[in-house]
Structures are given as structure tokens and as C-alpha cells.
């Protein structure tokens, strides 16, 4: 009798384990097939010109996406400039004054905001910035990306600060250190690698956003480095080229996709490595 | 009772005495006044968490350069009591106090007194060793100075002095750059005491400093307390009565937020004046 129940348990154990294994395998299939597909299609389009030249006029072969590469960097940089200080400081507020009324409201808003579709953010910034200034601009694009980053950065900062043991705060206060110094130099300092990871993941997310840029940064066939000019970006360029009827543009769109995916992948992996370091240091 | 009493007597070299029968004529309070001046006087101290009153009017003197042990069963308010002496109690949400705590005659709860300055004079060692994980051993010792924005020009001297005083210097002098978290639990606790000493406090509060340590590490910390008593006023919370008997000059027994008895340690452990104290130290409850 005991043998029978043992056999049954063993059988169920094997069945469930097998099912989990297959599910896990299936889950990574899309990731790897996307990577493989993008790499095989995109590798052919990569050459020096792609990284150094501007797009050629319609109908002309060749040219590159140097402006879109720089544009993406500029937009992401702008987004970080706006979202990082604001998000980190807001996160500190949420962690330090976690039960205040304002904190509850901010936390709820951040959660709602992180669920808002990115195109909605694009329209919002279009109304607020583009319409009031009268033209598409890098600034508007940066603001749109910043708004998408903001809730992630805020909440990650808060969650990571909450993970810092309260004993460290008491240790600091017990040494006669003022509260704000304990917060910044003990609590935030201890959570810093984690916060950096959160910021990186947020950057990785917005680097690939297309929708919020369509009516904010728009696009630009030329360099356009100024804040008040429209600016090119990899995702929008991919979109534009992919829907065009030209074979050469399709090729370049694939190459751009490969570059973008690589960028995001590198950011993600760096973020994970940072986390692992942090855990090991513990 | 006898087991503990004999262990104390063995430790202190006090002749074994029959409880109650040979109670001295002089009052204990008088004999105390002769030995030392008061560093801290606690007057009518009440402490609250929200509406719950955890300390119900404590009056207790703490003598200069002596070790005072606070004993009592869990939840009796002993930790809260020491946290009131350096105003750490109020850090907890909804926590407040009434009454006075006089440090050298000045009330630390007076309106014009800054909690931060109080905590620099009254250092604290916690139950769980809590070195800063982002700092190496050297920086941990100097943390109090650095975080307070004070000069660390004599840093190396301070580090060596503080670590020597806690008998950690020889163990770590070649590895000052290593993370404080890499030390063993007992070493970490001594590092935390060194961190506290680096700020040159006048009083050191220890909240069950050995409860997370093994017996060997505990013995080292106790030996350290014996050394420190010459320069510092020490208040130690402990749930280990043998420890109180070993290290303390005075012992206060807390029960349910009240101070039941306070006297010289040898009196508390051999001839307690209160039935509840006797019941507790003989292990009848707690």
C-alpha cells in the first residue's frame, strides 16, 4: 500500500517536472527565434556606411543611419536627465515616508502610469509640448520617454530602498548622524547598485519605444542635434523603412533592428550582472 | 537561585551568604551613592508605542563609569528603556515619551536639545551586529566621523586606537580594506563597538550585544566591557542573568514596563528585596 502511494507520488513528480521543463523551453523559443531571425536578416545590412552615413534620398541605394543612432542616444540621454533625478528622489520619498498620504497617492499614480500605453503618453506630450511650441522636437521626444521611465525608476528605487535593512538606519542614527545624511549616505548608498540596475532596465525599455516618438520627436533625415528640432531615432527609422516599398530600406531596417536589439540586450545583461555582483557582495 | 548565586560568588569572590538572614542595616541606596556619581538620572519616564504604554514611570539613576545591567523577561520594556536614553525610541513611528532623562543634569528631552547631539554623547551597540556593508573595516570605524562630516585627518590613529580597544586590531590590521561584512559575527560586533568608540561617547548603551554571538565571542565582548568600564558609563540590556552577574556593577530588574528593583548586582542576585525579582532570577518565570 505504501509502495503504491510512493509510486504514484513519484509518477506525479516526474510528470509535473516534465511539464515545467517543456513550458520553460517553449518560453525561450520566441526570444531565441527573434534573436536569430533579426541577426540573420540584419547582419547583411551592417556595414561601415550604416554607422557613419546619413540616409540617402528616396530611390538612391546605400547610406546609413548614423543620425538615428545618435538621435536615439540623445533622446535616451534626455529622458534620463529628466527621469532619473525626479524618479530617484520620488522613490526616496516613498521609501522614507511610506505611510504619508502623499506617498500613497504618488505610489498609486506611478502604478497607474506604468500601465498607460506608451502611445497615450505620446499624444499627451504632443498636446502639451508639440502643440504649444508649434513643432516636433527632440525635447518633446525626451519628455515622452522620460514619462515612460519615471514610474519604473520611482518604484524600483522605493522597492530597493525598502530592502535595505532597518538596522543600518539605526546604526547610522545611533552614531549621531542626521536623518537626511543617514538616508543619503547609508540607505541610498547601500541600495545604489540595485537602483542603477532599475534605471538601466528602464533605459532598455524606452530605447526601443516607437509610439511615443511618432508625434513628438518625429523623424529627421539629417543630423538635427538641436533640442527644438525634430530628431531621428532607431525605432522610428525602423518603422519608416519597414513600411516603405524599397528593398534596400528593408535591408537597412533589419540592420537597425539588430543594432537596437543588441543595445537593449547589452543593457539588460549589464543590469543583471550588476545585480549578481550585489548579491555576491552580501 | 543557588546555582546563579554561587556562580556570581565564584566570579566576584564574594563569600556565599544566606539570603535575607544577613541583610545589611545600611540601605542599598546609601551604599550606592558612595561608589559613584550619577551620570544619568531617569525621572518618571513613560514610553509609548501609539497608545500602548511600554514604560510606566521609570525612576533610575545610572552611575558614572559603572556598568548597569537591565534584566527582565521579554517584552518588559528593557530595550525601549535604553532606546529612550539616547532618543532612539522616537525614531520608531508613533513612538513618544514623557518624563525626563538628565544627562549630566541636563534633560535630553528639553526643547532646545537636538537628538543628534545626544546620540553622539550616548553611543549605542545593537543586538545584531550592523556594520555598514558598503564600507570596508577602516571606513566602518570612521563611519561616525565621516557621516557626520567631521574631519578624519587623524583617521589612521583613530582606527588603530578604536580597534585596539576592542581587541580587534591584531586580527584585522592587515585587512583594513576588506568589507566589514566579511568578518565573523563576534568580530563584527566588536567592530560596531569600535565604530561607537571612535566618536568618543560618554555613555555606551548595549542592547543585548551578545545575543547573536556564540559563547566564545560573548566572552570576548564581556571581557571588553570589563575594560571599557574604566572610561565609560555602560548600560547593557541582557536576557542572560549570568551575563548581568558577570559584567554589571548595578542591576535593574524590569517587569511589565515597571522597574521592580535596582541595586548592586551582588545584592540583586544574592539577597533580592522583591519577591518578583527572586522568582525571576531563580527561573520561576521569564
3-state secondary structure A134-160: CCCCHHHHHHHHHHHHHHHHHHHHHHH
Residue-wise pLDDT tens for chain A (282 aa)? Answer: 567 889 999 999 999 999 999 999 999 999 899 999 999 999 888 888 888 888 888 777 788 888 999 999 999 999 999 999 999 999 999 999 988 999 999 999 999 999 999 999 999 999 999 999 999 999 999 999 999 999 999 999 999 999 999 999 999 999 999 999 999 999 999 998 889 888 988 998 899 899 999 989 888 888 877 888 889 999 999 999 999 888 888 999 999 999 999 998 898 888 888 777 655 544
Nearest to B147 among A167, A181, A282 (CB): A181
CATH code of B124's domain: 3.40.50.300
d(CA B2, CA A112): 67
Take residue A87 and report the three cell numbers written for it: 524618479
DSSP A76-96: HHHHHHHHHHHHHHHHHHHHH
Cβ contact B88:B124 at 8 Å: yes
d(CA B184, CA B276): 38
Residues in chain B with pLDDT values less than 70: 1-36, 286
d(CA A273, CA B8): 55
The pLDDT value given to residue B165: 87
Take residue A212 and report the three cell numbers written for it: 511615443
The pLDDT value given to residue A278: 58
In chain B, what residues touch A282 (CB-CB under 8 Å)? 133, 181
Take residue B27 and report the three cell numbers written for it: 540601605
d(CA B246, CA B223): 10
Chain A residues with at least one Cβ partner in B under 8 Å: 99, 165, 167-178, 181-182, 185-186, 189-190, 192, 281-282
d(CA A112, CA A95): 18
Question: Cβ of B119 under 8 Å from any chain A Cβ?
Answer: yes
Is there a contact between B147 and A186 if contact means CB atoms under 8 Å apart?
A: yes
Q: Which of A100, A170, A174 to mutate to test the interface with B (most CBs of B within 10 A)?
A: A174
Domain over A48-281 is classified CATH 1.10.3720.10: yes
In chain A, what residues touch B116 (CB-CB under 8 Å)? 176-178
Instruction: Return the residue of A nearest to B116 by Cα.
Output: A176
Take residue A277 and report the three cell numbers written for it: 555582483
Cβ contact B202:B230 at 8 Å: no
Cβ contact A234:A68 at 8 Å: yes
Instruction: Return the residue of A nearest to B134 by Cα.
Output: A190
d(CA A253, CA A38): 10
Q: Domain residues for B150?
A: 2-13+28-281
Nearest to B130 among A167, A176, A281 (CB): A167
Whole-number average pLDDT of chain A: 90
Nearest to A174 among B88, B128, B179 (CB): B88
Question: Cβ of B113 under 8 Å from any chain A Cβ?
Answer: no
Q: Please report, for residues A152, A179, B31, B40, B62, the alpha-carbon distance to residue B37 in angstroms, rounded to integers and kept in the order given.
A: 58, 33, 12, 9, 9
The pLDDT value given to residue B12: 43
B38-49 sheet: strands from edge to edge = B52-63, B38-49, B95-103, B106-107
Nearest to B195 among A165, A175, A189 (CB): A175
Our count of domains for chain B comes to: 1
The pLDDT value given to residue A60: 78
Beta bridge partners of B206: B125, B236
Helix (H) or strand (E) holding B42, with range, is strand B38-49
Nearest to A189 among B88, B126, B134 (CB): B134
Is there a contact between A171 and B133 if contact means CB atoms under 8 Å apart?
A: no
Cβ contact A138:A217 at 8 Å: yes
Closest Cα of chain B to A139: distance in Å? 37
Task: List, for residues B202-238, the tens digit of each pLDDT value.
Answer: 999 999 999 888 888 899 889 999 999 989 999 999 9
B67-71 sheet: strands from edge to edge = B122-125, B203-207, B233-237, B67-71, B250-255, B258-264
The pLDDT value given to residue B30: 47
Cβ contact A237:A75 at 8 Å: no
Cβ contact B149:A180 at 8 Å: no
Q: Which of B107, B89, B262, B125 is nearest to B204 (CA)?
A: B125
Cell numbers 545591567 correspond to what residue?
B69
Ramachandran sector of residue B279 (left: φ over 0; alpha: ψ -120 to 50; beta: rest): alpha
Cβ contact A129:A143 at 8 Å: yes
Q: Counting Cβ atoms within 10 Å, is residue B16 exposed (0-12), middle (13-18) or buried (19+)? A: exposed
Residue B18 lies in a domain: no
Instruction: Return the residue of B nearest to A185 by Cα.
Output: B147
The pLDDT value given to residue B1: 43
Residue B220 lies in a domain: yes
The pLDDT value given to residue B36: 67
The pLDDT value given to residue A193: 86
Q: What is the β-pairing status of strands B106-107 and B203-207?
A: unpaired
Is there a contact between B148 and A168 if contact means CB atoms under 8 Å apart?
A: no
Angle of CA points B88, B79, A282, to nearest 5°: 75
Angle of CA points A80, A81, A82, to nearest 5°: 90
DSSP A191-233: HHHHHHHHHHHHHHHHHT--HHHHTTT---SS---STTS----
Amino acid at each position: 500500500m505504501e509502495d503504491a502511494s510512493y509510486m504514484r507520488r513519484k509518477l506525479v513528480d516526474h510528470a509535473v517536472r516534465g511539464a515545467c521543463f517543456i513550458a520553460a523551453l517553449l518560453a525561450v523559443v520566441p526570444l531565441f527565434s527573434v534573436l536569430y531571425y533579426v541577426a540573420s536578416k540584419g547582419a547583411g545590412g551592417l556595414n561601415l556606411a550604416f554607422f557613419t552615413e546619413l540616409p540617402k534620398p528616396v530611390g538612391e541605394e546605400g547610406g546609413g543611419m548614423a543620425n538615428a543612432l545618435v538621435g536615439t542616444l540623445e533622446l535616451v540621454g534626455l529622458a534620463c536627465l529628466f527621469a532619473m533625478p525626479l524618479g530617484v528622489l520620488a522613490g526616496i520619498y516613498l521609501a522614507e515616508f511610506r505611510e504619508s498620504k502623499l506617498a500613497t497617492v504618488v505610489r498609486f499614480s506611478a502604478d497607474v502610469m506604468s500601465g498607460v500605453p506608451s502611445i497615450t503618453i505620446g499624444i499627451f506630450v504632443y498636446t502639451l509640448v508639440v502643440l504649444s511650441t508649434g513643432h516636433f522636437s527632440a525635447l518633446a521626444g525626451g519628455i515622452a520617454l522620460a514619462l515612460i521611465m519615471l514610474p519604473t525608476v520611482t518604484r524600483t528605487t522605493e522597492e530597493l530602498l525598502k530592502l535595505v535593512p532597518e538596522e543600518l538606519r539605526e546604526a547610522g542614527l545611533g552614531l549621531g548622524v542626521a536623518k537626511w545624511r543617514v538616508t543619503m549616505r547609508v540607505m541610498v548608498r547601500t541600495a545604489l547598485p540595485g537602483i542603477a540596475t532599475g534605471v538601466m532596465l528602464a533605459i532598455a525599455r524606452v530605447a526601443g519605444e516607437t509610439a511615443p516618438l511618432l508625434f513628438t520627436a518625429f523623424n529627421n533625415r539629417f543630423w538635427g542635434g538641436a533640442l527644438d528640432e525634430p530628431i531621428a531615432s532607431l525605432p522610428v527609422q525602423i518603422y519608416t523603412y519597414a513600411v516603405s516599398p524599397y528593398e534596400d530600406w528593408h535591408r537597412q531596417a533589419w540592420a537597425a533592428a539588430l543594432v537596437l536589439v543588441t543595445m537593449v540586450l547589452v543593457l539588460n545583461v549589464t543590469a543583471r550582472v550588476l545585480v549578481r555582483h550585489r548579491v555576491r557582495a552580501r | 537561585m543557588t546555582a546563579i548565586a554561587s556562580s556570581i560568588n565564584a566570579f566576584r569572590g564574594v563569600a556565599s551568604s544566606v539570603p535575607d538572614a544577613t541583610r545589611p542595616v545600611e540601605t542599598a541606596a546609601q551604599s550606592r551613592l558612595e561608589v559613584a556619581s550619577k551620570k544619568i538620572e531617569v525621572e518618571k519616564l513613560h514610553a509609548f508605542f501609539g497608545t500602548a504604554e511600554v514604560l510606566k514611570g521609570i525612576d533610575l539613576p545610572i552611575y558614572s563609569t559603572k556598568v548597569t545591567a537591565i534584566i527582565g523577561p521579554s517584552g518588559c520594556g528593557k530595550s525601549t528603556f535604553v532606546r529612550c536614553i539616547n532618543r532612539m525610541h522616537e525614531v520608531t513611528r508613533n513612538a513618544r515619551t514623557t518624563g525626563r532623562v538628565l544627562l549630566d543634569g541636563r534633560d535630553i528631552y528639553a526643547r532646545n536639545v537636538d537628538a543628534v547631539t545626544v546620540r553622539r554623547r550616548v553611543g549605542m551597540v545593537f543586538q545584531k551586529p550592523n556594520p555598514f556593508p558598503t564600507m570596508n573595516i577602516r571606513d566602518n570605524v570612521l563611519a561616525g566621523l565621516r557621516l557626520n562630516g567631521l574631519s578624519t585627518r587623524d583617521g589612521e590613529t583613530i582606527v588603530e586606537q578604536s580597534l585596539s580597544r576592542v581587541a580587534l586590531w591584531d586580527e584585522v590590521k592587515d585587512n583594513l580594506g576588506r568589507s566589514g561584512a566579511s568578518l565573523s559575527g563576534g568580530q563584527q560586533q566588536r567592530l560596531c563597538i569600535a565604530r561607537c568608540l571612535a566618536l568618543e561617547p560618554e555613555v555606551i548603551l548595549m542592547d543585548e550585544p551578545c545575543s547573536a554571538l556564540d559563547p566564545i565571542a560573548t566572552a570576548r565582548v564581556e571581557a571588553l566591557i570589563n575594560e571599557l568600564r574604566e572610561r565609560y558609563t555602560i548600560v547593557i540590556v541582557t536576557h542572560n542573568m549570568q551575563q548581568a552577574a558577570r559584567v554589571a556593577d548595578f542591576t535593574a530588574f524590569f517587569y511589565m514596563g515597571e522597574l521592580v528593583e535596582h541595586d548592586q548586582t551582588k545584592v540583586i542576585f544574592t539577597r533580592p528585596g522583591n519577591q518578583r525579582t527572586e522568582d525571576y532570577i531563580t527561573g520561576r518565570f521569564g
